[in-house]
Amino acid sequence: MFERFSSGYYLGEMYVEPYDGDCAVIQRNDHEYVNKQLYTSGDGVERIDAPLVMKLEGTHFPVHGDDSVPTGTLVIPDSLSIDTLPTRREVLLAEGDRAMELLRYSGWQSAPGT
């Protein structure tokens, strides 16, 4: 789904479409798979529900999982104002450390001890 692009990002291609929700979402199973592959170390019990951080047209945003979204699709809030949607697009995914840094800047906090 995603492959190494640079020291801080992975690159993937997804069908991107707008919706009137509050946050960006992808299919829950895709979300958990990417979380396991890119954001966990394999040591102990780790979260796989933490938001992913994606970048599209220079904007970083957290991405959550949702069962109602088709696999391979990223739905983003209308408020992100991305032109030419819906369409198939290249999407950047922040690697684990960078993602946690960006989430902290946005005010997101993980559960204690994680």
Decide: 1 and 71 in contact? Cβ < 8 Å: no
3-state secondary structure of 29: helix
Q: Which of 48, 31, 52 is nearest to 40 (CA)?
A: 48
Q: Does domain 2-106 have CATH number 2.60.40.10?
A: no
Instruction: List, for residues 2-42, the tens digit of each pLDDT value.
Output: 888 888 899 999 999 988 888 999 999 999 888 888 777 77
> What does pLDDT average to over the chain?
84
Question: What pLDDT, on a 0 to 100 scale, did the predictor assign at position 114?
Answer: 44
Tokens of 72: 């391979």
CA-CA-CA-CA torsion sign (34, 40, 45, 47): negative
Q: Give the phi and the psi of residue 109 in degrees, each rounded to 5.
A: -125, 135
Percent of the chain with pLDDT over 90: 33
